[in-house]
Amino acid sequence: MAVSTGFMKKIQRWAIDEQSGEILFLPFQTEGNPYKSKVVLAGANPEPLLQVDASDFQIFAETLVDANLFSDLFPDEIAEASREYKGSLNFAAWVKENLHEQVVLSSINALNLDAGELKPLKKEQDPLYVKGFDILKEVINEFQPEVLIIQGSTAYKLFMEQYKEQLVDVEVDDLTMSVQALEQKGVIAKLSLNNDRKVNILVCRSMGAFGKEGKTFGEFKEIMRNLINQH
């Protein structure tokens, strides 16, 4: 997918820190046109950890919609990424093969720094850290998916801190249940988008547990299948 001038400007607004001019945020990753995707999968923080010079912004933007280009340019970073990230790629591949939908990867906080740099910014509630939370809502408002999946207990905790008061059509009695329990509940609630549409919220274990084939995710796969078929 070629990145249009208008879309390039949106990615620039999401990815670049206005103060320093550096690429500090990883707003999303996918394969193809994210506006056609029905599914966004969000972890706590973005992976892999990237350090990209601002002069390379255009090629960086193009990698966000071209998984092959992304893997060609960042092979070492992908190799060093967590099991959760690799499981997320395997989950996206399963969705594409079995449900014929593409998955957009995103994060509750899109600030793309290592843990050592992130920790003091979090403690101080630095404006960079705060901006990291704004990006997910902008991404889902822009792409208008049908489903937002929150993976892992850390991401779910951050998600509830940011969005609990904005949830509507809550389907479960106890939102403090473990992610393992919530995974079996299907749609737990909906989150209102800017144009009066709502995105369905699913919760699951970290995709680090998905592995290559997701053998322990059978029930969640069935929930996904039924939900996608409804839309």
Average pLDDT estimate for 122-135: 94
Whole-number Cα distances in Å, 212 to 33, 93, 199, 216: 25, 10, 27, 11
The 10 Å Cβ neighbour count of residue 72 is 10
Token pair for 206 = 């970290």
pLDDT at 11 over 80: yes
Q: Is the pLDDT of residue 1 over 80?
A: no
Alpha-carbon torsion, ordered 154, 28, 190, 95, to 10 deg: -90
Altogether, the residues listed in the chain come to a count of 231
pTM: 0.96
Which pLDDT belongs to residue 191? Answer: 97
The span from the CA of 51 to the CA of 211, in Å, is 27
In the predicted model, is pLDDT for residue 2 greater than 90?
no
pLDDT in tens, 54-92: 999 999 999 999 999 999 999 999 999 999 999 999 999
Query: Residue 185 corresponds to which amino acid?
Result: K
- What the chain holds in terms of domains, given with CATH numbers, is 29-50+82-230 (3.40.470)
Query: Are the C-beta atoms of 39 and 149 separated by less than 8 Å?
Result: yes
Query: pLDDT at residue 146 above 80?
Result: yes
pLDDT above 80: residue 214 = yes
- 3-class SS of residue 217: helix
Q: For the chain, what is the mean pLDDT?
A: 95
Q: Give me 193's structure tokens.
A: 């988008």
